[in-house]
Amino acid sequence: MQITIDLGERSYPVLIGDKLLENAKAHLDPYISGSQVCIITNDVVAPLYLSSLKAQFEKDYQVFTHILPDGESSKNLQVLEGIFETLLENACSRDVTLIALGGGVVGDMTGFAAASFMRGVDFIQIPTTLLAQVDSSVGGKTGVNHRLGKNMIGAFYQPKCVLADVGVLETLPAREFSAGLAEVIKYGLILDADFLSWLENNIQALLEHEAEALAHAVKCSCETKAYVVSKDEKEKGLRALLNLGHTFGHAIEAHYQYGTYLHGEAVSIGTMMALELSAIMGMIDASAVSTAKQLMQAAKLPVKCKDFIEPDILLDFMSVDKKALSGRIRLVLLEALGKAVVTDNFEIEDVKQAMKLCMPEKQEE
């Protein structure tokens, strides 16, 4: 199946299906304009899929490869510079197409490399994690982290095409798969109550990697994200809804220096904080919180921090969050399952209370 991300002259297709990677070149040929291709991947994905992908393209293209170290810690300017090094050493020109083969880190860095190399070359995404298939492959957000904050350096830059092969999710570690489900559930929570009900009924099929269910979940997620992004490409309003759980989640990740929780896991906890806050403020009732919590737990996601963290520490991290405007924190809260709103109208004490509901009690010293 195929959906289109509608962004005017920057529109592009997302091809979704099982075993697409086996014929990747045939699928992607129409979206490559030059004669040079550089496949950028990481050292976990490379042994699984790189040689077969490379072989497909070598028939008709000059193919270069660049392998990044796996993990969020490699998502920085120094590692990015290595990509430019490979491109320049191989005399890649402005019509090179970069292909991101990997998860969110590979996609974000490849996208930013494409946005920045010679001030912009084409790129294609082949997301190999569920998170990347449902989140980072749609929306054009690219970039790297800074030690003082996540995704602080980057660009809005759209791929020419995304190839989402749900077959590759077979090789994804279970924990990462669940982390991807956190974002899938998010789409239901913010905008799509029907999809949320479908998820409650099909979470087991997803965990068992049933291809049809996976393709449906990826499609619904991408469609919701595509709808939001097409209405608001540069994140001025509606798009902020996609950040449900992310402002809290980023603070949790930053507190643990990005080492303890996967992004999706932190988002799961952050989403529960946002929902607890919504309930404290009387916007939703306890049963809605409970529904979300059960779904997260069924997806094998954490709904509480493993340690007590002083709420003030999390708030400090939140004040440099890039979604803040002039230092004021804006949060995504729920008015109902399937209906999110952005607001800066809340009490800090309520936020702290919501945080505490999603962590163990403070141990007396």
| Smallest distance from its own copies to CB 144, Å | 9
Comparing CB distances to its own copies, the nearer of 80 and 277 is: 80
Q: For residues 62 and 269, give the distance between their C-alpha atoms in angstroms, rounded to a whole number.
A: 45
The encoded tokens of residue 76 equal: 């920085």
Q: Is 84 exposed, middle or buried (0-12, 13-18, 19+ CB in 10 A)?
A: middle
| Smallest distance from its own copies to CB 263, Å | 17
Q: Which residues bind its own copies (CB under 8 A)?
A: 34-36, 77-78, 80-81, 84-85, 88-89, 91, 93-95, 115-120, 141-143, 146, 148-149, 151-156, 234-235, 319-320, 322-327
Q: For residues 130 and 104, give the distance between their C-alpha atoms in angstroms, rounded to a whole number.
A: 9
Comparing CB distances to its own copies, the nearer of 34 and 71 is: 34
Comparing CB distances to its own copies, the nearer of 30 and 120 is: 120
The encoded tokens of residue 25 equal: 């070149």
Which residues are designated catalytic?
119, 141, 183, 225, 235, 239, 243, 246, 250, 263
The encoded tokens of residue 78 equal: 């120094």
Q: Which of 176, 2, 8 is nearest to 105 (CA)?
A: 176
Comparing CB distances to its own copies, the nearer of 128 and 145 is: 145
For 53, other C-beta atoms within 10 Å of its C-beta total 25
| Smallest distance from its own copies to CB 215, Å | 30
| Smallest distance from its own copies to CB 143, Å | 6
Q: For residues 138 and 132, give the distance between their C-alpha atoms in angstroms, rounded to a whole number.
A: 9
67 CB-near residues (< 8 Å, 6+ apart): 40, 41, 42, 43, 46, 50
The encoded tokens of residue 49 equal: 């899929």
Any alpha helices (H) in 129-172, and if so which ranges?
A: 130-131
| Smallest distance from its own copies to CB 46, Å | 24
| Smallest distance from its own copies to CB 158, Å | 13
Going by DSSP bridges, is the β-strand pair 161-165/122-127 parallel, antiparallel, or unpaired? parallel
Comparing CB distances to its own copies, the nearer of 150 and 216 is: 150
Comparing CB distances to its own copies, the nearer of 78 and 201 is: 78
The encoded tokens of residue 212 equal: 């049809």
Whether residue 49 contacts residue 74, with contact meaning beta carbons closer than 8 Å, is answered with no
DSSP state of 210: -
Rounded to 5°, the CA angle 49-53-54 comes to: 115
